[in-house]
Copies of this chain bind each other. A is one copy, B any other.
């Protein structure tokens, strides 16, 4: 849970340890990783974090490469796809969000209250990144990198919270954690700059529905 400053999720600065995938040292029989490669990966992550923060996650890869002072090929060598770069940049923050779940379950007044808080933590995280929609959406095949990360890290956490809330009788709707988090993601993804539209309110509305038995439709 490093790499966070200020409020839990609003950091995108360049003070993290850069670990796109696995920076562990051991490289037994093979050759050691070239230092310029390591340096460039760091520069890329810093640049990406900075560029994403100012120009939005939609910023062109070329812009990131330029900011890092490298060519596009270098960027693609380290992050085979645009999506991978985004994942690398936000991985820490997703982790932090995941870890906040159990904590909230203890500190909040009730499981349901914990869920509401946690969901809003997630909303804030997504909300501060302009244009996460493109990434959230997923490619034709179905899953994009960030989506997978969200599912892997966040769904288990929310599952536990939902279970607790069901045990306490607060939540009755037959909704899975995946369905709920996916819905919240969709709601927030577009992050409209619209004064008439407050995502937080809508999300709260959605979460409120958890306390109602499922309705018939049609």
Q: List A residues at the B interface (Cβ < 8 Å).
A: 116-117, 120, 133, 137-138, 142, 173, 175-176, 178-180, 182-183, 186-187, 189-190, 192-194, 196-198, 200-202, 204-212, 214-215, 217-218
Contact = CB atoms under 8 A, between A and B. Distances in A.
A107 to B, nearest CB: 13
Copies in the complex: 2
A170 to B, nearest CB: 11
A158 to B, nearest CB: 14
Contacts of A212: 205, 208-209, 211-212
Instruction: Provide the main secondary structure of the chain A interface.
Output: helix
Contacts of A138: 190, 192
A196 B178 contact: yes
B116 A194 contact: no
A65 to B, nearest CB: 23
A23 B44 CA distance: 55
A196 to B, nearest CB: 6
Contacts of A187: 183, 186-187
Nearest to A173: B205
Given A187-B187, A189-B186, A215-B116, A176 B205 contact: no
B198 A179 contact: yes
Nearest to A189: B186
Contacts of A218: 117, 120
Contact of A200 (B142, B182, B217): B217
- Nearest 3 CB-CB pairs, A to B? A208-B209, A209-B209, A205-B209
Contacts of A201: 175, 179, 214
A204 B124 CA distance: 24
A175 B200 contact: no
B217 A175 contact: no
